[in-house]
A and B are shown apart, each in its own frame.
Chain A
Amino acid sequence: MHECTAALAAFVASLVEFAEALTVVLAVGTVRGWRGALGGASLALLVLLALVCLLGPVLTRIRLQAVHLALGSLLLLFGMRWLRKAILRAAGVIPLHDEGALYARQTAALRGALPNGVGWDRLAIATAFKITMVEGIEVVFIVIAIGAGGANLLPASLGAAAALALVVALGLALHRPVAAIPENTLKFCVGILLCAFGTFWVGEGMDMAWPGDDLALLLLIAFYAGASFAAIRLCGSITLGSRA
């Protein structure tokens, strides 16, 4: 059960992150040329791979309870921040994320920059490198944190790899941002999954006894979903009140 939930959570979270990176890499490729865009993105992927190879073995040497507590706390900070943003978007407090608008902003900014000289386009490489690193680090963190016990690292990695393959395939096929992905809904679901995993790992790190052991994850998902819907209703009533 744990493995499936870990793979699913990593897949959905990575799908959202890779879709955001793809939007910017596509904008760079279209405006400044594909050599720099793909060069920057590939370089960032290599750095991320090195980061995983470095961090993975280090984590296995630390006491498991300490790893659970530390990664669970970070996962909670990350997941609750994500879930809060999704709640505020669903309640209409902050605007929804729009890949099309991001693509338009990026292409406009890149067109306004100085034209490319001879050789590698440094602006293209830097832009593609930065976005792939920023979004990729989130993916690396999610994979490592969800797989905190060690046993879930492989399913979580496979979930992230499947998401990368899907986004690359969609990018090659469409040649435009993957706006069809219901990003805000996915972020809401992933936020709930990350909070559930974070709470579970923190509880394990604090030596708490979860009722039903691994099945407690399902209870946590249901609990956070209920709390989130309550928060949306509460925030939605404030939004409606302020518009009236």
Chain B
Amino acid sequence: MTLLKTICAEMLGLFLDDARFAGAILAWLAACWLMLPHLPLAPGLRPALLCVGLAAILIESAHHRAGNRP
């Protein structure tokens, strides 16, 4: 049972070891999914916005972690 719990915890940890980071990614994906189709944007601009937002989350999160290292 302990072994199964450990494996399940490790599996969850593959995606969610930093709640702030994972939450930001999911929030941005949800925002893009729900809002982008309704904005008057050129079709090529939508994927660009998706990528720029994700890269910004990545850089900000790494920067935040580097600034808060023990």
Contact = CB atoms under 8 A, between A and B. Distances in A.
Contacts of B11: 134, 137
B25 A80 contact: yes
Contacts of A134: 7, 10-11
Contact of A234 (B10, B14, B59): B59
A73 interface: yes
B47 A203 contact: yes
Interface string B8-31: 001100111110011001100100
B69 interface: yes
Interface string B58-70: 1101110111010
A195 B26 CA distance: 14
Contact of A81 (B18, B47, B59): B18
Nearest to A69: B33
Nearest to A234: B63
Contacts of B62: 84, 87-88, 91, 93, 231, 234-235
B58 A199 contact: no
Contact of B47 (A76, A88, A208): A208
Contact of B58 (A73, A84, A220, A239): A84
A34 interface: no
B50 A208 contact: yes
A230 B51 CA distance: 15
Given A93-B65, A227-B55, A133 B25 contact: no
Interface in A141-157: 141
Nearest to B28: A76
A126 interface: yes
A54 interface: no
Contacts, number: 117
A11 interface: no
B58 A93 contact: no
Interface string A55-94: 0000000000000010001101110110110011001011
Interface in A187-215: 195, 199, 202-203, 206-211
B54 A93 contact: no
Nearest to A230: B59
Interface in A202-244: 202-203, 206-211, 216, 220, 223-224, 227-228, 230-231, 234-235, 238-239, 242
Nearest to B18: A81
Contact of B3 (A73, A83, A129, A231): A129
A133 B7 contact: yes
Interface of A: 69, 73-74, 76-78, 80-81, 83-84, 87-88, 91, 93-94, 126, 129-130, 133-134, 137-138, 141, 195, 199, 202-203, 206-211, 216, 220, 223-224, 227-228, 230-231, 234-235, 238-239, 242
22 contacts: A73-B29, A76-B29, A77-B22, A78-B14, A81-B22, A83-B58, A91-B62, A94-B69, A129-B3, A130-B6, A130-B7, A137-B11, A203-B50, A206-B32, A208-B43, A208-B46, A210-B47, A223-B55, A227-B58, A228-B58, A235-B62, A235-B66
